[in-house]
């Protein structure tokens, strides 16, 4: 059974971005993946800020990443980039931790003006962590998700279509022998 890890760099709980990630999780599970989450906001802040990569929770996350086949890395866009929280976490990971994995970047921002955040801010860091097979990624605007009676719903059909296209690409990558 392929293993997937979703790394969420959002600061918020509840989070519109995590509504999108729950959709991704459901699709991965339906395709037979075992899915785990690393919610960076729940990691020890002192370890993140002081660079203590040997914290038990950080080491546990590294083990899960090392054993995974697919890694989804997601962040809201603040100041034209992914969150500083996610950056602090990624900076503490071993240099080649994403080698041999299929990586799906996901970003959410207030407008399409920050759509290139995946390509110009996040992708270079993923490559520096050894990722060789980074999918195109999915950018979602905040207004694509809304709260209905306390439940997050993706209301934008174009976003759902793009998610399905990308997740199909991920499944096709699996078939092509990427070890997933």
Q: Is residue 108 part of a domain?
A: yes
Q: Is residue 80 part of a domain?
A: yes
In this prediction, residue 90 carries a pLDDT of: 96
In this prediction, residue 114 carries a pLDDT of: 86
Helix axes of 16-30 and 157-175: crossing angle, nearest 10 degrees: 40
Into how many domains does the chain fold?
1
Q: Is residue 180 part of a domain?
A: no
Query: How far is Cα 139 from Cα 118, in angstroms, rounded to an integer?
Result: 8
Average confidence (pLDDT) per 10 residues, the chain, 180 residues: 96 94 96 96 92 85 95 95 95 95 95 88 96 93 94 94 93 56
DSSP 61: H
Adjacent-strand bridge partners of 77: 82
Q: Is residue 164 part of a domain?
A: yes
In this prediction, residue 2 carries a pLDDT of: 92
Q: Is residue 147 part of a domain?
A: yes
For the whole model, what pTM was predicted?
0.93
Domain containing 27 equals: 3-175
In this prediction, residue 175 carries a pLDDT of: 38
Q: Is residue 35 part of a domain?
A: yes
DSSP 60: H
**CATH code: domain of residue 161:** 3.40.50.360
List strand residue ranges (DSSP E) for 46-120, in order: 70-78, 81-82, 102-109
């Amino acid at each position: 059974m392929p293993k997937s890890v979703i790394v969420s760099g959002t600061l918020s709980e509840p989070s519109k971005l995590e509504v999108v990630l729950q959709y991704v999780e459901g699709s991965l599970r339906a395709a037979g993946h075992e899915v785990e989450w690393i919610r960076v906001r729940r990691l020890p802040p002192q370890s993140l800020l002081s660079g203590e990569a040997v914290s038990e929770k950080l080491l546990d996350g590294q083990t899960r990443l090392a054993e995974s086949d697919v890694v989804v890395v997601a962040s809201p866009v603040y100041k034209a980039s992914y969150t500083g929280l996610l950056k602090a976490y990624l900076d503490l990971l071993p240099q080649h931790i994403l080698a041999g994995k299929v990586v799906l970047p996901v970003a959410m921002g207030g407008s399409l003006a920050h759509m290139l955040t995946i390509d110009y801010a996040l992708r270079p860091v993923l490559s520096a962590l050894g990722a060789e097979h980074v999918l195109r990624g999915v950018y979602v605007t905040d207004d694509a998700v809304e709260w209905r009676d306390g439940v997050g719903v993706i209301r934008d059909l174009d976003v759902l279509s793009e998610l399905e296209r990308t997740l199909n690409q991920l499944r096709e990558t699996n078939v092509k022998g990427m070890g997933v």
